[in-house]
Amino acid sequence: MNANEVSARAGNAEQIKLTKHRKKLTKDKLKYYATCYAFSMPYFIIFCIFTVCPVVISIFFSFTDFNMMEVPSFIGLDNYIRLFLEDDVFVLAIKNTFILAAVTGPISYLMALLIAWVINDLKPWLRAVVTVVFYAPSLSGNVLLIWTVLFSSDQNGWVNGWLMEMGILDEPIRWLTDKKYMLPIVIVVILWSSLGTGFLAFIAGLQGIDKTYYEAGAIDGVKNRWQELWFITLPSMRPQLMFGAVMSISSAFGIGSIVSGLVGFPSTDYATHTIVNHLEDYGGIRYEMGYASAIAAILFAAMLFTNYVVQKLLNKVGE
Amino acid sequence: MKPKKAKKKQLNRSKLGNAGVYFILTLLGAFMILPLIYTISSSLKPLDELWVFPPRFFVRNPTLRNFKDLFRVLSGSVVPFSRYLFNTVLISVIGTFGHVMLASMCAFALAKHKFPGSQIIFKIIVITLLFNAAVTAIPNFMVMTWMNMLDTYWALIIPAFGSTLGLYLMKQFMEQMVHDTVLEAARIDGASEWKNFWHIAMPMVKPAWLTLIIFSFRDLWNMGGTVFIHSEELKTFNYAMGQILAGGIGRAGVGGAAAVVMMIVPVSVFIFTQSNIVETMGASGMKE
């Protein structure tokens, strides 16, 4: 045996040892990954079935004619063409949804932010009480139907009774079936019940801001509360602002059951018909699933697009 | 020292500005709370006060009659009142328990471990925060038809397990609150990942799972579920109450009583857990 051979053999042994070590490493790693998947998959699979699947299949079925009974047949873009060119109610629903979303989304977002900001100066116990006052309507779910009693069409409705007593009205107004008043009332009720998860996130975000920033800002020339809000407070809570925006968009485009609860389904002349109402009409009542899927796909696309724009805008806060 | 500190707290706040801001806050607060107070007040009104003109805001001779009537109306319905309540309690308890367990386990894996796909999983979850149950209900109807889940309790329970918001909040909170060094130390002591999760991580994120419980319970308690449930005996308490509320003016007193019953549970639960929820929401922020 010469020296070369010995070293080669030793090298070989080393090689074998190393591969063994690697094998053990990959085995450990695989075991580790298996544990990770064991933890995450039960949730993720259910999540996929009931949240991802609906989005994906509605895109697929939007190109078909499908009624749940027969095999779906591929019809290309027909559903979309029918939606935009032949379905006047859908065009109206788009208009109403965008009005509702464009009005209630930003207003409730700003309202939540400003209220959270103002009550941040209060003593903790008072802040807790005020938080309950503002959050209670969105906690109460179906209780928003109490507004149908307030806006009831006869003189026993609270608003009618009050306005007639003051001499402003001679006879009761049919608030919830008259096209003139339906949309504004729906907006008021949505705003009433809209301070939800985003509002809580803002309160928490404000509490988390380091107080020394404000002192430093005062030294650097921040003069009043509005400058402080724009230059210090808002940039420090940008992550919460983003989260709140997602929550706002999610609920603004999901408006539907509030409307049908207040003004009935379908509403007078479809004056407050929303995309979600239209979706329920074709999916839940007529079982035209292909058509309903096209409606859902458009709704999803509109939400993703709005989210993209809003997140871009929020990046400009405090600049 | 003390007065100086008090002055510091009022940095950048003028007295006039304060007055204006609190005035607006009071107005908005009145807008929020008055309908709820009116609801409570009319639930206590005797019959003659409900129909008085002009309508009165506050009750003069409070009575519990409406609550007794509500009970009578409900026990007289085709499906007894206790069945609606049982349904809601059942789906709320199982749905909430399953959601908190599964979402916490997944959040633990996503927040504290790196494995192939973990980033993508979280990205998908963040995007789908946009799509709430209202917009996915109809496509979900197809999914449930194929899985033969329609018209069973599972149609309401299983989707609640996979609720997106809970997982998101839990993952964000764990990332901030559970430190890797603690988990590493336990691993060296021979703790399994399950032990790490159950005995170390979970006790550290108590505010987060309380929040998940509240949110999940609130959603399930307020669940109508009429898209997925057609049998009367499987319908929820919220549905039954909604029917009474929708009865409108004719049942104003009973409707008020129903509304009070519906809101009292989630509101009082929130009052007792508020500080935990606010702590959890502190971690809710999104990175760009």
Predicted confidence (pLDDT) per residue in A194-221, tens digit: 898 889 989 988 888 888 888 888 888 8
Highest mean pLDDT: which range of A18-22, A237-241, B154-158: B154-158
Burial of A88 (0-12, 13-18, 19+ CB in 10 A): exposed
Q: Looking at the structure, do residues A192 and A50 belong to the same domain, yes or no?
A: no
Q: Looking at the structure, do residues A91 and A54 belong to the same domain, yes or no?
A: no
pLDDT > 60? residue B5:
no
Q: Note the pLDDT of residue B8.
A: 46
Provide the domain count of chain A.
2
Q: Note the pLDDT of residue A116.
A: 92
The residue-averaged pLDDT of B103-118 equals 93
In three-state secondary structure terms, B117 is coil
The answer to whether A67 contacts chain B (CB < 8 Å) is no
Question: B220 near B160, Cβ under 8 Å?
Answer: yes
Residue B201: DSSP 8-state: I
| All residues at 6 or more sequence positions from B257 whose CB lies less than 8 Å from its CB, including other chains | B43, B66, B67, B69, B70
Residue B54 preceded by cis peptide, ω within 30: yes
- Chain-chain contact of B193 with A39 (C-beta, under 8 angstroms): yes
Q: Which of B4, B284, B287, B288 to mutate to test the interface with A (most CBs of A within 10 A)?
A: B284
pLDDT band at A5 (very low <50, low <70, confident <90, very high): low
Q: Note the pLDDT of residue B258.
A: 83
pLDDT > 60? residue B37:
yes
From the list A35, A161, A222, the residue facing B12 with the nearest CB is A222
Residue A266 preceded by cis peptide, ω within 30: yes
Cβ-Cβ pairs closer than 8 A, A with B, add up to 315
In three-state secondary structure terms, A73 is strand
Predicted confidence (pLDDT) per residue in A121-135, tens digit: 888 889 899 999 999
Question: A284 near B142, Cβ under 8 Å?
Answer: no
Cα of B271 to nearest chain A Cα, Å? 7
Nearest chain A residue to B101, by CA: A43
CA angle, residues B198, B201, B207, in degrees to nearest 5: 105
pTM of the model: 0.86
Predicted confidence (pLDDT) per residue in B206-244, tens digit: 889 888 988 898 888 888 777 888 888 888 888 888 777
Between A179 and B173, residue with greater pLDDT? B173
pLDDT > 80? residue B54:
no
| In-domain check, residue A26 | yes
- Chain-chain contact of A280 with B271 (C-beta, under 8 angstroms): no
Separation between Cα atoms, residue B249 and residue A7, nearest integer Å:
98
Plot region of B152 (φ>0 → left; ψ -120 to 50 → alpha; else → beta)? beta
The residue-averaged pLDDT of A87-105 equals 92
Residue A268: DSSP 8-state: G
From the list B35, B164, B263, the residue facing A51 with the nearest CB is B164
Q: Note the pLDDT of residue B288.
A: 56
- Chain-chain contact of A54 with B55 (C-beta, under 8 angstroms): no
Q: Looking at the structure, do residues A17 and A88 belong to the same domain, yes or no?
A: no
Closest to B125 in 3D by CA, of A243, A60, A138, A30: A243
Q: Note the pLDDT of residue A190.
A: 92
**Sign of the CA dihedral running B110, B116, B119, B125:** negative
Across chain A, what does the average pLDDT equal?
A: 86
What are the backbone dihedrals phi and psi of residue A184, each rounded to the nearest 5 degrees, phi first?
Answer: -60, -40
pLDDT > 60? residue B74:
yes
| In-domain check, residue B31 | no
Q: Which residues of A, range 241-300, sit inside 8 Å of B by Cβ?
A: 242-243, 246-247, 249-251, 253-257, 261, 276, 279-280, 283-284, 289, 292-293, 296, 299-300
Between A215 and A39, residue with greater pLDDT? A39
Q: Note the pLDDT of residue A173.
A: 82
pLDDT > 70? residue A8:
no
Contact list in A for residue B110 (CB cut-off 8 A) is 40
Question: Of all helices (H) and strands (E), which one includes residue A74?
Answer: strand A73-74
Q: Looking at the structure, do residues A55 and A96 belong to the same domain, yes or no?
A: no
Separation between Cα atoms, residue A128 and residue A131, nearest integer Å:
5
The residue-averaged pLDDT of A137-159 equals 79
CB atoms within 10 A of CB B26: 11
Across chain B, what does the average pLDDT equal?
A: 85
Q: Looking at the structure, do residues A152 and A202 belong to the same domain, yes or no?
A: yes
Q: Note the pLDDT of residue A37.
A: 93
| In-domain check, residue A119 | yes
Question: A241 near A315, Cβ under 8 Å?
Answer: no
Separation between Cα atoms, residue A64 and residue A266, nearest integer Å:
26
Q: Looking at the structure, do residues A169 and A36 belong to the same domain, yes or no?
A: no
pLDDT band at B2 (very low <50, low <70, confident <90, very high): very low
For the domain that residue B144 is a member of, what is the CATH number?
1.10.3720.10
Q: Looking at the structure, do residues A129 and A259 belong to the same domain, yes or no?
A: yes
Q: Which of B9, B11, B12, B215 to mutate to test the interface with A (most CBs of A within 10 A)?
A: B12
The answer to whether A140 contacts chain B (CB < 8 Å) is yes
Question: Which amino acid is it at A62?
Answer: S
The residue-averaged pLDDT of B7-29 equals 79
Q: Which residues of B, range 62-91, sit inside 8 Å of A by Cβ?
A: none
Q: Which domain holds residue B216?
A: 72-281
Q: Looking at the structure, do residues A140 and A50 belong to the same domain, yes or no?
A: no
pLDDT > 70? residue A109:
yes
Cα of B201 to nearest chain A Cα, Å? 13
Q: Buried b vs exposed e over A294-316: b needs ≥16 C-beta within 10 Å?
A: bbbbbbbebbeebbeebbeebee
For the domain that residue A251 is a member of, what is the CATH number?
1.10.3720.10
Provide the domain count of chain B.
1
Q: Looking at the structure, do residues A36 and A162 belong to the same domain, yes or no?
A: no
Question: B12 near A230, Cβ under 8 Å?
Answer: no
| In-domain check, residue B89 | yes
Plot region of A221 (φ>0 → left; ψ -120 to 50 → alpha; else → beta)? left
- Chain-chain contact of A224 with B17 (C-beta, under 8 angstroms): yes
pLDDT > 90? residue A46:
yes
